[in-house]
Amino acid sequence: MVNLSATEHQIKCVANFKDLLSTPFQGEVNALCWNRELKGDFSEIIKKVALSGNMIELLPEKLLELQLSEQGQLAREILLNDFKILKENGKIPTLNIIKNYERDDAFPFFPTDVYSFHVDRSPIPADTFLCTYHGASSDILPNLQGTQKILIPKIRTELKKLYDGPEDGFESFLTEYFFDLHYQAKPEAYPINLGIGNLWKLAIDHPESNVLPCLHRAPKENTGEPRLMMIC
């Protein structure tokens, strides 16, 4: 179960996929969670797939080709069903095996990779759906416990050193390079781990949103343990 003690007003739990889709974000709620305890051996699926790089997309056709034990087959059925139901409801799910994401070393004082607390943005109404089936799982952060990095004086000063243009174009520069999407956790912050097997819907920044976008980050991977995650 997800620990809601520090963010009970931000997260709302639902009982099934239908409610996950139909329940709107409102007020302080910008994260919906379908708590699940999944059966099956998801680690077996990871072991059966050759991972030559940092990450690989696992398509349903490839999943069906794997020779699996009974527990592995149970895990596969869950993955295929999640993939199918998301796709049938207009989503574009991607199932990934992740050794690690690429790190952003272009701006050492301000990395903009997914390991930093950030929000997603879309020009049209949309939500982020995700589930971690094996390995380290993502974190979210209550909005009141994070500060937009571009508002931190020291960071803003460094960003202005990077910018070479008219003063009235600085804010556009921050948006163009996605600096405005990233947040720093406050000293008293209490990140909430999303757990294994739970299917989440997170609010993102789009023109018609009535709630704040959900701050989230990818976890530091466990040594020698790739992640198995679906996202759309």
Q: pLDDT digits over 54-77, tens only?
A: 899 999 999 999 999 999 999 999
Residue 105 has which token pair? 């070393």
Phi and psi of 30, rounded to 5°?
-135, 20
Mean pLDDT of 150-175: 89
Inter-residue contact 68 to 44 (CB < 8 Å)? yes
pLDDT band of residue 111 (cuts 50, 70, 90) is: confident
pLDDT one-digit tens code per residue, 194-216: 999 999 999 999 999 999 999 99
For residue 31, give the 3-state DSSP assignment.
Answer: strand
Q: What gap in Å lies between CA 128 and CA 92, rounded to an integer?
A: 10
With contact defined as beta carbons under 8 Å apart, do 215 and 144 qualify?
Answer: no
Record the pTM. Answer: 0.91
Question: Would you place residue 106 in the very low, low, confident or very high pLDDT band (cuts 50, 70, 90)?
Answer: low
pLDDT tens per residue, range 177-188: 889 999 999 999
pLDDT band at 169 (very low <50, low <70, confident <90, very high): confident
DSSP alpha helix (H) spans, 3-149:
17-22, 42-48, 60-65, 70-88
pLDDT digits (tens, 9 = 90+) for 9-48: 899 999 999 999 999 999 999 999 999 999 999 999 999 9
